[in-house]
Amino acid sequence: MATLKSLRLRINSVKQTQKITSAMKLVAASKLKRAQNAAEAARPYAERMERMLGSLAGAMGGRDDGPRMLSGSGADQTHLIVVCTADRGLCGGFNSSIVKGARAKVAELRSAGKTVKIYTVGRKGREQLLREFSDLMIEHKQDIGRRGPEFFEAAGIGEELTALFADEQFDVCSIIYNRFESVMSQIVTYQQLIPFAVDADDAATEPEAGEGAYDFEPDETEILEDILPRNLGVQVFRALLENAASEQGARMSAMDSASRNAGDMIDNLTLEYNRSRQAQITKELIEIVSGAEAL
Amino acid sequence: MADTVQFELVAPEKLIFSDDVELVVVPGSEGDFGVLPGHANLISTVRPGIIEIHENGQAKERYFVAGGYAEVTAERCTVLSTEAMPVDAIDRGAAEKRLEAAELDLRDADDDAARSRFEDAVGVARAMVETAGA
């Protein structure tokens, strides 16, 4: 049986751990609030952008002389996957679920005979993917948004993707990230960025609005060529914001259950400690009594 | 028909302005245009410059935008800009510093893609300095 001293030490160390996890939980909760606000504030821009793109794409009406970012490069051979994870761990299954999703996607594309390239954003995703796919990783970004992602960072990634696409490094580009559903649940989301997929619903509601056709200034092709790369930045920005909120949410619930587990453990250890203390007292009493009787 | 248009100025981080206005003047890339209720449907690119919101025939609020896109319909006008702020909030010194930095970048640019990007940045910074000086 463990000695009283070692039990006392263990109880203390678990208490310290609990203090840390509950502090982390509080920090994550306040960061989550901020990340959620940021994600919400950024929503109008993305929505308006989508509406505008819907009208533009509608005006192009499936003509294939449009920009390649809309119609695609004509091939479907090389896929680029942008894997967005966090820079830091201790957030439950957050990073591993994205990595798992990415792995499944790579396997699926490979079995279909495609070439896959990986662009990682966030330190954790890179570390986990490096072992398996080090030959596929072409680019890496980290330290994005210590205080929440900034738009210029996302726009920078968007520009890089645009340059890579112009350089014919890939035909199809998608991004994988965790969509924030609630504190308890984050959903791994896979979204195609290039060629830009016009939401069928958006396109459908356009004529129904009865607003007639748009005039374009300059013409629609020129606007599209300008707006599509920018839209890429917006989509990346949205993914990063969702990811940031999800990370904090995941960390909060992970730290909450860690604190609870530590509490259970402290209870059990305290029970054991008291039992052994009582057992020892009883033993000492018996020794004294039997010693007195022997005299 | 309503006598106002619903005007929205949106930056990536947040909605900057959203209200019903009588007239708004947008610096389109092919010339400024004013939007009154019942304007024809239009999608236009926007150059770096000033958006003026008018009320009772006078400019009430002025916002600096760093270029972007405008979508106009009979009832609403939406401007998407990567950067936007009230004209009073521009710091002249900071804007000049930014112009200098952008010009330096442009001088060091080694390929066409970078050059055109920095040219845009210089354009934005220059418009900002001009706005602050006005």
Distances (CA, A) of A268 to A1, A8, A241, A261, A279: 15, 12, 41, 11, 16
**Residue corresponding to tokens 């900034």:** A150
Instruction: Compute the distance between CA of residue A38 and CA of residue B11 in angstroms, rounded to an integer.
Output: 12
Residue extents of the structural domains in chain B: 5-87, 90-132
Alpha carbon of B74: minimum distance to chain A alpha carbons (Å) = 8
What pLDDT, on the 0 to 100 scale, is given for residue A208? 38
Decide: helix, strand or coil at residue A38. helix
Instruction: Compute the distance between CA of residue A263 and CA of residue B78 in angstroms, rounded to an integer.
Output: 53
- Measured N-to-C along each axis, helices A220-294 and A94-111 cross at an angle, to the nearest 10 degrees, of 130
Q: Which chain A residues contact residue B8 at CB under 8 A?
A: 44, 48
What tens digit of pLDDT does each residue of B26-38 get? 998 888 999 999 8
Mutate to test the interface with A, among B5, B6, B9, B13 (most CBs of A within 10 A): B13
CB-nearest partner of B43 from A38, A56, A163: A56
Instruction: Compute the distance between CA of residue A216 and CA of residue A213 in angstroms, rounded to an integer.
Output: 10
Buried/exposed A48-82: b ≥16 CB within 10 Å, e otherwise: bbbbbbbbbbbbbeeeeebbbbbbbbeeeebbbbb
What pLDDT, on the 0 to 100 scale, is given for residue A141? 83
> If 0-12 CB within 10 Å is exposed, 13-18 middle and 19+ buried, where does residue A142 land?
middle
Instruction: Compute the distance between CA of residue B125 and CA of residue B109 in angstroms, rounded to an integer.
Output: 17
Cross-chain Cβ contact A151/B12 below 8 Å: yes
Q: Which chain B residues contact residue A53 at CB under 8 A?
A: none
CB A211, CB B38: distance < 8 Å: no
Give the pLDDT mean for B44-66.
88
How many Cα atoms are found within 13 Å in the side-chain-facing hemisphere of A272? 17
The C-alpha angle with vertex A190 and arms to A188 and A193, in degrees rounded to 5, equals: 145
Tens of each residue's pLDDT in chain A, 295 residues: 578 999 999 999 999 999 999 999 999 999 999 999 988 888 889 888 888 888 887 777 656 566 777 777 777 889 999 999 998 888 888 999 999 999 999 999 999 989 999 999 988 989 889 888 888 888 888 877 667 788 888 888 888 888 888 888 888 899 999 988 888 888 999 888 888 776 555 444 444 344 457 888 788 788 888 888 888 888 899 899 999 999 999 999 999 999 999 999 999 999 999 999 999 999 999 999 999 998 8
Instruction: Compute the distance between CA of residue A261 and CA of residue A255 in angstroms, rounded to an integer.
Output: 10
B44 forms beta bridges with A217, B70
- The DSSP output letter for B40 is P
What pLDDT, on the 0 to 100 scale, is given for residue A220? 77
CATH T-level assignment (fold) for domain B5-87:
ATP Synthase; domain 1 (2.60.15)
Strand duo B31-35 + B23-28: pairing: antiparallel
What pLDDT, on the 0 to 100 scale, is given for residue A204? 44
> If 0-12 CB within 10 Å is exposed, 13-18 middle and 19+ buried, where does residue A89 land?
middle
Report the helix count and the strand count for chain B, using DSSP H and E.
2, 8
What pLDDT, on the 0 to 100 scale, is given for residue A254? 94
Is any Cβ of chain B less than 8 angstroms from the Cβ of A113? no
What pLDDT, on the 0 to 100 scale, is given for residue A246? 92
CB A145, CB A156: distance < 8 Å: no
The C-alpha angle with vertex A184 and arms to A183 and A190, in degrees rounded to 5, equals: 90
Catalytic site residues of A?
A: 91
Cross-chain Cβ contact A45/B117 below 8 Å: no
A vs B: CB pairs below 8 A: 79
H or E element at residue A3:
none
Instruction: Compute the distance between CA of residue B109 and CA of residue A231 in angstroms, rounded to an integer.
Output: 24
CB B67, CB B120: distance < 8 Å: yes
Q: Which chain A residues contact residue B12 at CB under 8 A?
A: 42, 45, 151, 154, 233-234, 237
**Residue corresponding to tokens 């999608």:** B43
What pLDDT, on the 0 to 100 scale, is given for residue A206? 46
Alpha carbon of A256: minimum distance to chain B alpha carbons (Å) = 30
- The DSSP output letter for B87 is G
CB A39, CB A179: distance < 8 Å: no
CB-nearest partner of A218 from B11, B41, B45: B45
As for the ipTM of the complex, it is 0.81
Structure tokens at A71: 């119609």
Instruction: Compute the distance between CA of residue B73 and CA of residue B86 in angstroms, rounded to an integer.
Output: 24
Is any Cβ of chain B less than 8 angstroms from the Cβ of A38? yes
H or E element at residue A69:
helix A68-71
> If 0-12 CB within 10 Å is exposed, 13-18 middle and 19+ buried, where does residue B39 land?
middle
What tens digit of pLDDT does each residue of B75-119 get? 889 999 988 888 888 888 888 888 888 888 888 877 777 777 788
What pLDDT, on the 0 to 100 scale, is given for residue A230? 85
Backbone phi, psi, residue A3, to 5°: -75, 160
Cross-chain Cβ contact A216/B44 below 8 Å: yes
- Residues 6 or more apart whose CB falls under 8 angstroms from that of A5 comprise none
Q: Which chain B residues contact residue A49 at CB under 8 A?
A: 80
- The DSSP output letter for B67 is E
